[in-house]
């Protein structure tokens, strides 16, 4: 028996060494030329200097080697795998394989055959197979994470700061990618790497630290987000970041309605339009029928209040409906809003919104003499107009996050969750279901209107086509709902991540414009199958969707058949 155990242990060690060798070979392959022509984006023709997609393969190879060393028990690296190394190694190896083979295939397809590959490309393709084979032959060593070693407070705070700094670097690298091939490889590498870190238990460890030092973690997150404009030389990608923040803020407002209160709202984008049109009409533009020019703070309050009024007016007669009936009514409201603002042109109806032409030439915001449309030098860095709006929208999103977190943890928040879980039972316990749902609907509308006021000035125009149920350009109701579901209903970070992905992917991969809904539909199906609680799981939803067998009884005990049947179901 002991000999068999020693043999198995020796085989495991050999496979981990093989995975390490594969990771090193993968890294080495990136210093070779993969193709002989610079026509492929990134110029992969240089020896000794990785470029473009080779950098992603290099990163994946380094991670494979690092976690293989941790699996081998190298002192100082064991903390990398608190819940086991096998699953993490498998995912890192798959990430390297996917990125490298995508690059090799893209070279062959775009340049006209495998003849365009240099020996380095074939070496990389073979080298990335080695760690995959080794990792999948390893026995599963998943274990329960032990209590981490207590570190000094300064060290734990430093880890939190480093984690957010790395997050900023990864996000900046992705948004700054200049061609579709590099962004696709970036998605593959980051997707597999994030999943691997989760399976290794590092994400859980980091969550524990951020919970322990909550205020420091929140401050670090804000500083990292605010630092993004200072990493950009132009406004080219800052505009994408501004729109991501607008999309994410509106998605977080929808999360109150859908994620907390459980109300399926398919016309939520109309409230964004109400806030945008209101701000546009009082902005002082010559295209407005109202000869008024509100200051910034008054325009924001006006847009939020008008959206609140519309939320109450729409919610009061409709929130007595449930389920699909409520969804149909809200869908109708969204379409009515789009058609109505398209007809208020002085011909089909009163002249208010200029109909299909919308309200153009919306001036830039001017707040206490700070013109958001002009470049400003801050801390030695020149910030363009979109960088100004980015920082403003970041403050608006922080306000929405505070409102969401405070409301979700309050008495009214618990009432929303009770209504979402079982409205009949909640009503029987004394909760006024209609009033509670109306508050959620009105609050969500207000937050959407707040984001709309900033969007109007960022886009400098508002037209009816910007506020549809489904269209090629987010935000729209379908994309907002998908962001909440994909990210994780009832959480704060879930919709933010979901909105970022759903906006960034179409913005960087232009060839997917005509297939966005198909892609998101497939993503939703896969998510429902493998992670129904969303990318960032709400603890309650995670327990509901992933039943445990804690109550199962042994087969030799009475009732074992019932327990087994339950587990099978």
Give the per-residue pLDDT at 66.
92
Under a CB-based contact definition with an 8 Å cutoff, are residues 127 and 22 in contact? Answer: yes
Tokens of 203: 């994400």
| pLDDT digits 0-9 by tens, 278-335 | 988 888 887 777 878 888 888 889 999 999 999 898 888 888 887 788 888 888 888 8
User: What SS3 class is residue 383?
Assistant: strand
Contacts of 153 (CB under 8 A, 6+ apart): none
User: What SS3 class is residue 182?
Assistant: helix
Q: What percent of the chain has pLDDT over 90?
A: 19
| pLDDT digits 0-9 by tens, 232-273 | 887 788 888 888 888 888 888 888 888 888 888 888 888 998
Tokens of 544: 């509901």
Rounded Cα–Cα distance for residues 476 and 502 (Å): 11
Taking the alpha carbons of 263, 264, 269, 271 in that order, is the dihedral positive or negative?
Answer: negative
User: Is residue 412 predicted with pLDDT exceeding 60?
Assistant: yes
β-pair partners for 351? 345
| pLDDT digits 0-9 by tens, 217-230 | 888 988 999 998 88
The average pLDDT across 402-408 equals 84
User: Is residue 454 predicted with pLDDT exceeding 50?
Assistant: yes
| pLDDT digits 0-9 by tens, 132-152 | 999 999 888 888 877 777 788
Q: Model's pTM, two decimal places? A: 0.83
| pLDDT digits 0-9 by tens, 537-550 | 766 656 565 554 44
Rounded Cα–Cα distance for residues 239 and 235 (Å): 6
β-pair partners for 366? 371
Rounded Cα–Cα distance for residues 154 and 460 (Å): 46
Average pLDDT, the chain: 83
Under a CB-based contact definition with an 8 Å cutoff, are residues 168 and 141 in contact? Answer: no
Confidence of residue 396 (pLDDT cuts 50, 70, 90): confident
Rounded Cα–Cα distance for residues 241 and 235 (Å): 10
Give the per-residue pLDDT at 555.
45
Whole-number CA gyration radius for the chain: 27
Confidence of residue 560 (pLDDT cuts 50, 70, 90): very low
Contacts of 334 (CB under 8 A, 6+ apart): 266, 267, 268, 269, 270, 467, 468, 469, 477
Give the per-residue pLDDT at 5.
65
Degrees, nearest 5: CA angle 456-457-462: 30
Strands 370-371 and 376-378, how do they pair?
unpaired
Degrees, nearest 5: CA angle 255-261-264: 70
Rounded Cα–Cα distance for residues 487 and 520 (Å): 13
Phi, psi (deg, nearest 5) at residue 475: -85, 140
Rounded Cα–Cα distance for residues 255 and 404 (Å): 9
Rounded Cα–Cα distance for residues 56 and 496 (Å): 25
Residue closest to 182 by CA, chosen among 499, 511, 509: 509
Rounded Cα–Cα distance for residues 208 and 198 (Å): 13
């Amino acid at each position: 028996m002991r000999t068999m155990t020693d043999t198995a242990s020796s085989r495991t060690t050999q496979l981990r060494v093989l995975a390490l060798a594969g990771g090193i070979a993968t890294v080495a392959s990136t210093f070779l030329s993969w193709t002989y022509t610079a026509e492929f984006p990134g110029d992969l023709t240089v020896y000794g200097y990785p470029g473009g997609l080779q950098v992603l393969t290099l990163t994946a190879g380094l991670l494979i080697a690092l976690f293989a060393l941790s699996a081998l028990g190298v002192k100082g690296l064991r903390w990398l795998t608190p819940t086991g190394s096998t699953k993490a190694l498998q995912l890192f190896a798959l990430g390297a394989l996917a990125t490298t083979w995508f690059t090799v295939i893209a070279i062959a397809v775009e340049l006209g055959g495998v003849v365009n590959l240099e020996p380095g490309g074939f070496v990389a393709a073979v080298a990335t197979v080695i760690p995959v084979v080794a990792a999948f032959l390893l026995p599963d060593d998943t274990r329960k994470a032990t209590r981490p070693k207590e570190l000094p407070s300064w060290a734990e705070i430093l880890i939190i700061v480093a984690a957010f700094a790395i997050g900023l670097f990864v996000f900046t690298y992705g948004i700054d990618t200049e061609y579709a091939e590099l962004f696709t490889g970036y998605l593959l590498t980051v997707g597999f790497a994030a999943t691997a870190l989760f399976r290794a238990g590092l994400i859980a460890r980091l969550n524990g630290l951020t919970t322990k030092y909550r205020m420091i973690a929140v401050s670090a997150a804000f500083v990292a987000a605010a630092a993004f404009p200072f990493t950009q030389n132009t406004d080219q990608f800052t505009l994408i970041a501004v729109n991501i923040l607008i999309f994410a803020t509106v998605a977080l407002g929808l999360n109150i309605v859908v994620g907390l209160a459980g109300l399926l709202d398919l016309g939520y984008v109309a409230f964004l339009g109400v806030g945008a049109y209101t701000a546009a009409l009082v902005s002082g533009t010559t295209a407005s029928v109202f000869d008024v020019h509100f200051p910034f703070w008054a325009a924001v309050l006006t847009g939020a209040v008008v959206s609140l009024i519309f939320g109450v007016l729409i919610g009061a007669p409709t929130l007595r409906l449930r389920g699909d009936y409520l969804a149909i009514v809200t869908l109708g409201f969204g379409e009515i809003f789009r058609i109505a603002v398209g007809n208020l042109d002085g011909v089909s109806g009163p002249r208010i919104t200029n109909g299909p032409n919308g309200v153009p030439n919306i001036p830039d915001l001017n707040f206490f003499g700070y013109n958001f449309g002009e470049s400003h030098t801050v801390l030695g860095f020149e910030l363009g107009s979109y960088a100004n709006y980015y920082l403003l929208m970041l403050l608006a999103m922080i306000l929405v996050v505070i409102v969401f977190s405070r409301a979700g943890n309050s008495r009214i928040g618990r009432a929303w969750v009770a209504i979402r879980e079982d409205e009949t039972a909640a009503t029987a316990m004394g909760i006024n279901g209609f009033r509670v749902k109306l508050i959620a609907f009105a609050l969500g509308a207000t937050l959407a209107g707040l984001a709309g006021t900033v969007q109007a000035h960022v886009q400098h125009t508002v037209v009816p086509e910007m506020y549809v149920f489904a269209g090629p350009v987010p935000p729209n109701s379908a994309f907002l709902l998908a962001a909440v579901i994909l990210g994780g209903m009832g959480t704060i970070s879930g919709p933010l991540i979901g909105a970022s992905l759903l906006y960034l992917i179409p913005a960087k991969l232009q060839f997917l414009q005509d297939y966005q809904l198909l892609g998101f539909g497939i993503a939703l199906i896969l998510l429902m199958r493998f992670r129904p609680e969303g990318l960032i799981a709400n603890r309650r939803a995670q327990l509901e969707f992933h039943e445990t067998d804690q109550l199962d009884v042994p087969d030799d005990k009475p009732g074992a058949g019932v327990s087994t049947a339950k587990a099978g179901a």
